[in-house]
Amino acid sequence: MTDRVLVARLDSMGDVLLSGPAVRAVARRAEVVLLCGPRGADAAAMLPGVSRRIVWEAPWIVDPAPPVTGGALDELVARVRAEGVREAVILTSFHQSPLPLALLLRLAGVARIAGASVDYPGSLLDVRLRPGEDLPEDIPEPERALAIATAAGFPSSDDGLLRVEGVPDTSRLTGGGTYTVLHPGAAVPARRWPVERFARTARLLEDAGRRLVLTGGPGERELTGAIAERAPASIDLAGACALPELAGVLAGADAVVVGNTGPAHLAAAVGTPVVSLFSPVVPAVRWAPYGVPRRILGDQGAACRGSRARECPIPGHPCLTGVSPEEVVAAVDEVAGAGVPAPLHANGAKV
């Protein structure tokens, strides 16, 4: 009987997509049960190598956080026990601790647990990577996840790029021919380029002969509508796509213009070049689109850098408002014509 290993990534869609290379490394040797949060569940369903899913709201991850109740904790313990899992790999970002989940997994009978922890783990972790010591701090998230999986005994055996499966043909939505995607929304305001800049960019791109497709969630129709007013030939798909269809739309594009939000990682997972309007509230070296031709725009040295702010703490949002529509148009032309992957720094981080 094949061993089952629980791989945990409890946050959002983009985080789950970035865990994909690590999930595939584990799946090469074991059946993967992926533990994820509700915001990451759809992405988890598209990751190669995932055999089963457990979807659970972690009160130390989800925002707004659910209450901590014995019933909710007992539910997770019971579900993990029911899967017959004896080993777990907990994937976290630099600002997260694996220890709350490790404690619950111990109660569920998981005998061997791996994770990265700054804090002393006591008997909660069997394999511990110490960030800043034996795990570099400034590496891309997929490489961080792979380092944790490798330490647990699951080294990578492929190219380590992002990947999804079950991507449909969405030409019925986009029509035939080449197009560029603009995705103006982001989960929090600090990561959004002003919509009027997106609208001006759309006008310039359309005037240059590019066909445009606008994407967004159901709550982002106002954003895409404002852009469509300036680019009347564009196709507005805000609210029209579940995650597989969004992947299909991104896969058919020659480039995607997007902030540092989940669809940027989905574009990378389908191999589409990205113009990344990246607010430095989180480090680009860790969170920029991975493994595809890309251009990162935005002042990465701005005063908001590393703040993890949801609302921009600096008047005027200068890290992104300093980017002009003309710069974005030039970047689209650059990445859409790129025929080679982005170059590498000496430390392996793509630029």
Q: Domain check: are 73 and 114 in the same one?
A: yes
Q: Domain check: are 109 and 216 in the same one?
A: no
Asked if residue 130 is part of any domain, the answer here is: yes
Q: Domain check: are 57 and 111 in the same one?
A: yes
Asked if residue 162 is part of any domain, the answer here is: no
pLDDT of residue 349: 30
Residue of 303, 299, 296, 294 whose CA lies nearest to 336: 294
Residues of the chain with pLDDT under 50: 1, 339-351
Q: Give the Å distances, CA to CA, from 56 to 34, 72, 197, 262.
A: 11, 9, 38, 19
What are the phi and psi torsion angles at 65 (to 5°)?
Answer: -80, 135
- Secondary structure (3-state) at 82: helix
Asked if residue 159 is part of any domain, the answer here is: no
Per the structure, how many domains does the chain have?
2
Asked if residue 344 is part of any domain, the answer here is: no
pLDDT of residue 343: 33
Q: Domain check: are 124 and 192 in the same one?
A: no
- Secondary structure (3-state) at 327: helix
What span, in angstroms and rounded, lies between the C-alpha atoms of 336 and 281? 27
pLDDT of residue 120: 96
CB 180 within 8 A of CB 205: yes
Tokens standing for 345?
């720094």
Q: Domain check: are 118 and 264 in the same one?
A: no
Tokens standing for 235?
């196709």
Q: Domain check: are 142 and 285 in the same one?
A: no
What span, in angstroms and rounded, lies between the C-alpha atoms of 321 and 37? 33
Q: Domain check: are 208 and 322 in the same one?
A: yes
The residue from 122, 151, 180 where one domain ends is 151
Residue of 164, 193, 211 whose CA lies nearest to 336: 211
Enumerate residues 6+ apart whose C-beta is below 8 A from 246: 215, 263, 266
Q: Domain check: are 143 and 181 in the same one?
A: no
Sheet holding 235-236, edge to edge: 235-236, 212-214, 180-183, 256-259, 274-277, 294-297
Enumerate residues 6+ apart whose C-beta is below 8 A from 240: 173
Residue with tokens 């030039």: 330
Q: Residue 235 sits in which domain range? A: 171-336
CATH number for the domain that contains residue 203? 3.40.50.2000
pLDDT of residue 2: 67
Residue of 284, 319, 317 whose CA lies nearest to 302: 319
Asked if residue 160 is part of any domain, the answer here is: no
Q: Domain check: are 94 and 228 in the same one?
A: no
Q: Domain check: are 331 and 282 in the same one?
A: yes
Q: Domain check: are 147 and 175 in the same one?
A: no
Is this prediction's pTM over 0.85?
Answer: yes
Q: Domain check: are 267 and 307 in the same one?
A: yes
CB 293 within 8 A of CB 313: no
Asked if residue 348 is part of any domain, the answer here is: no
Asked if residue 214 is part of any domain, the answer here is: yes
